[in-house]
Structure 1
Amino acid sequence: MKRLVYTLLLLVFWTLSGTAQQKRSLDFTSDGDFKVVQFTDTHINLEEGKNVQVFDVISSVLAAERPQLAVLTGDIASQHAPREIYRKLAAIFEAEDVPWVVVFGNHDARDAKARKELANFVEQFPGCLNHDVGTLTGSTNFVLTVKGHNQKTAALLYCMDSNAYSTLKPKVDGYGWFDFSQVNWYLQKSRDYTAANAGQPLPALAFFHIPLPEYTQAWNNQLAPPVGVKNEDECSPDINTGMFAAMLHGGDVMGTFTGHDHINDYIGVFHGIALAYGRVTKVMRNEEDPKAGGRVIVLQENQRQFKTWIREWSGKKVLECSFPGSFQEKEQAAR
């Protein structure tokens, strides 16, 4: 009996080890680039046949860009049982040989238990690099490291659950916000990575769903006007728990990338941090709305800068710019 139990434990260990080994590392290319494609707000509903074109949009953008990572920034499924949707998405990423992660939006399983179960489910896919820390508010909080040519950590990708809706109703309405546990976690991780890098903050990006309140100030920055469009007011939370201030203090995050507001796709700058939307990935109804696609971000090894553009489903490349270069040029011209 003991031998049987021991054998079963070994099988479990080997299974888990095999799964872990299949999780690939993220590395800058020999050219010193690391390309991310952000998809957002797909709102797929297989039960009702809604937004199923998204699968073709994602496949087309991946084929055109060949990124090292795909990031889904929330509101992926709009049906009660979303697992089949994630199976189909995982199959697309596997076919294109692209690892992927997802952070949840306000429509991705609204109660904490369902979000946790879904987070555990997506982590089982070999190509999914999610690994929720498990001790914070939200269910998709983790940080990815990107290795440089010397196999040392050269860049960071913070992935965070911006939560769903206010937990203070009826006193405070509206969308969710970062809990203090998440803000403190970010600050600690930032400090740890900075200390390990001889006191120098590493270049970092952050991905989450709901835009920070400071996005409005980035849009209104007249010295360095944004690139892209704002067709609706930013639907940020009514409570500001200081994530932006924490990022300023940490000194590593160069840019944040969100979704949520389907007809906004701008990138602006506020106090030296780029605040950007992705491009809605579902096909919108109105002709004047942004065309379905994804945002591309290209990091450059050992540089606190990145290039970015939108790749539309049609293959068209639009809104190309660089950070901080494009915005520094605008600011100098304005002065």
Structure 2
Amino acid sequence: MKSLFIFLVTLLSATMAQSQQLPNLQFNNDKEFKVVQFTDTHVNVEAGKNMEVFTTIKKILEIEKPDLVVLTGDVATDGNPQKTYQAFEKVFEEAKMPWIVTLGNHDSQADLSRKEVSDFLQGLSYCLNNDKGETYGNSNFVFPVKSKENKAEALIYIMDSNAYSTLKPEVDGWGWFDHSQVNWYKEKSQQYTKANNDEPLPAIAFFHIPLPEYYQAWSNKEVKAIGKRKEDECGPEINTGMFAAMLESKDIMGTFVGHDHNNDYIGVHHNVALAYGRVTKTKTYRKAPVEGARIIVLTEGERKFDSWIREVNGRKVYPCTWPDSFVN
């Protein structure tokens, strides 16, 4: 009984310490909120693989000084990924930077299950992961970005796009959003819309695997995409209607994914921005782009965002503003 009491006290103390470290997501005095998206780092601390990622992240954090970091999947490839996630924790703890991880297909291929990885992340310093088991998957949650008056002015959705087909051998390929996740998103959107006098809040969403509609954004003949497409989109073969739900809910301005290392474009489909990040893993083959990150800047009180790619060498490429840069 005494050991159980000590364990509970220790757990409570750790939880309280973490909650004291985590700031509210809030627009700054210039009414801006900056997110840096790192993706597909594929770090393996056990094997010393892709360790240069941490240098890349530190350089870009120093240049951009964001308010939030989102890692959009395929983060750790160790047999036991805890050491790699702890290495990320150290970087963000030193920078006092809140961070979020949305799981990719590789994040559940190691010794820990997807649920165990999700639970482990929720105990790390400055990590905002907060999956409550409300729907299918293990990284589904939403954070409001608030004004100085503590009013929700924008939303950041984090979603688990899952890993691989659950219908093999009939259907091969990548995972897709479960129908319950589509319903979960719609319910969350409706709740925030109702609380905002029936006006949808400006929102962005992060996940790993691109929606099936990404190719339509790239091939939009009326509005040219900005950035590069050097490989086919590796989206799921099953479309469960997440994009349609976003159109109907009218809050999502843009979605941001990883998965396809050679793509970094942002295009529009039915006036919703469908964007890739920039692969953060060190360039290891000719076709791969220079490692870096995508930057997204929200503006309080406006349905818009600025975005660009920041490369590890300091170059800023593909700057654009949604929706202004994507008008016929």
TM range (shorter): over 0.9
1:208 corresponding residue in structure 2: 207
Distance apart, 1:288 and its partner CA: 4.3
Where does 1:251-330 land on structure 2 (aligned, <5 Å)?
251-328=250-327
1:59 corresponding residue in structure 2: 58
Distance apart, 1:13 and its partner CA: 4.3
1:182 corresponding residue in structure 2: 181
Aligned-residue Cα RMSD (Å) equals: 1.9
2:48 corresponding residue in structure 1: 49
8 Å contact from structure 1 (residues 63, 96) kept in 2:
no
Distance in 2 separating the partners of 1:67 and 1:250? 28
SS at match of 1:231: coil
Distance apart, 1:272 and its partner CA: 1.2
Where does 1:2-151 land on structure 2 (aligned, <5 Å)?
13-110=12-109, 114-151=113-150
Distance 1:52 1:150, change over 3 A: same
Distance 1:318 1:171, change over 3 A: same
SS at match of 2:187: helix
2:217 corresponding residue in structure 1: 218
1:169 corresponding residue in structure 2: 168
Distance 1:271 1:112, change over 3 A: farther
Amino acid of the residue matched to residue 223 of structure 1?
E
CA deviations on 1:32-80 (whole Å, 9 max, x unpaired) are 0000000000011223322111111111001100000000000011222
Distance in 2 separating the partners of 1:44 and 1:16? 27
Amino acid of the residue matched to residue 66 of structure 1?
K
CA deviations on 1:97-140 (whole Å, 9 max, x unpaired) are 21100000000014897111111111111200000021322111
8 Å contact from structure 1 (residues 203, 252) kept in 2:
yes
8 Å contact from structure 1 (residues 213, 240) kept in 2:
yes
Greater displacement, 116-125 / 211-220: 116-125
1:236 corresponding residue in structure 2: 235
Distance 1:169 1:21, change over 3 A: same
SS at match of 2:221: coil
Distance in 1 separating the partners of 2:94 and 2:125? 13
Distance 1:47 1:154, change over 3 A: same
Distance in 1 separating the partners of 2:174 and 2:60? 30
Distance in 1 separating the partners of 2:173 and 2:70? 25
Distance apart, 1:148 and its partner CA: 1.0
Distance in 2 separating the partners of 1:96 and 1:166? 38
Alignment TM-score, normalising by the size of structure 1: 0.93
SS at match of 1:211: coil
Amino acid of the residue matched to residue 95 of structure 2?
E
Distance in 2 separating the partners of 1:280 and 1:309? 13
Matched-pair identity in %:
53
Greater displacement, 282-291 / 315-324: 282-291
Count of residues in Structure 1 that have an aligned counterpart in Structure 2: 328
Unaligned runs of 5+ in 1: none
Amino acid of the residue matched to residue 318 of structure 1?
V
Distance apart, 1:8 and its partner CA: 7.5
Greater displacement, 199-208 / 126-135: 126-135
Distance apart, 1:82 and its partner CA: 0.8
Distance apart, 1:267 and its partner CA: 0.1
Amino acid of the residue matched to residue 60 of structure 1?
K
Amino acid of the residue matched to residue 171 of structure 2?
V
Distance 1:13 1:266, change over 3 A: same
Alignment TM-score, normalising by the size of structure 2: 0.95
8 Å contact from structure 1 (residues 216, 234) kept in 2:
yes
8 Å contact from structure 1 (residues 110, 164) kept in 2:
no
Distance apart, 1:95 and its partner CA: 1.5
2:248 corresponding residue in structure 1: 249
